Amino acid sequence: MRIAIVVGHSFEDGGAVRCVDGVQEHAWNTDLAEMIAAHDPKNIKIFHRKGSLPYKREIEEVYARVDAWGCDLSIEPHFNAGGGTGTETFSSGSKGSLKAAAKVHAAIVKTLGLKDRGVKIRNATVKGRGYESLVSGKAPALLLEPYFGDNAGDCAVADNNKKALAAAIYLAAVGC
């Protein structure tokens, strides 16, 4: 199983900021991606978006590189913000994406024990957060939101379980 990890946001636009330490999504998730990839460096490759491009072009460009590498699944880790708590996973709604989303989401929820906010579909009729990332590549794609970075309790859970989270994502993804 070849897995591409597209780290959410970019070096130029780091994304949301954690309330406990000021770390942005891109930095926290680059570390998580490296932990996941360490399980199978031959079959897992990390990709970073080029934030200097307009958003849609940025997504198209990184997923073109993912497609050129060739993978069976792409995962784009983020963390949520907006005053909530819990774990949610986004899928394009394709059969492959939904199957992978169910497995990876369940593994994250089991590992972190945060509120299960479910698997949510983003497709052509329900555009929204993450839509372009879910439909721009050839392989089934997932967008992961394991916790809320603006919730200190969620941050503590994520930090205390980061290694286990990486292992859970890896094991669930290779089982797809």
pLDDT of residue 123: 63
pLDDT of residue 130: 79
pLDDT band at 126 (very low <50, low <70, confident <90, very high): low
pLDDT of residue 34: 98
Q: Which residues pair with 89 in a beta bridge?
A: 119, 144
Residues with Cβ within 8 Å of residue 79, at least 6 apart in sequence: 16, 18, 25, 28, 29, 145, 146, 147, 148, 149, 158
> What CATH number should be reported for the domain holding residue 149?
3.40.630.40
pLDDT tens string 29-73: 999 999 999 999 999 999 999 988 998 899 999 999 999 999 999
pLDDT band at 172 (very low <50, low <70, confident <90, very high): very high
pLDDT tens string 92-107: 999 999 999 999 999 9
3-class SS of residue 168: helix
pLDDT exceeds cutoff 80 at 78: yes
> Residue 74's domain spans which residues?
3-174
Instruction: Indicate the number of domains in the chain.
Output: 1
pLDDT exceeds cutoff 70 at 127: no
Measured distance between the N- and C-terminal CA atoms of the chain, rounded to whole angstroms: 8
Give the residue-averaged pLDDT of 63-87: 97
Tell me 1's DSSP state.
Answer: -
CA 19 to chain centre: 20
Its pTM stands at 0.96
The shares of helix, strand and coil residues in the chain, as percent rounded to the nearest 5, are 40, 20, 35
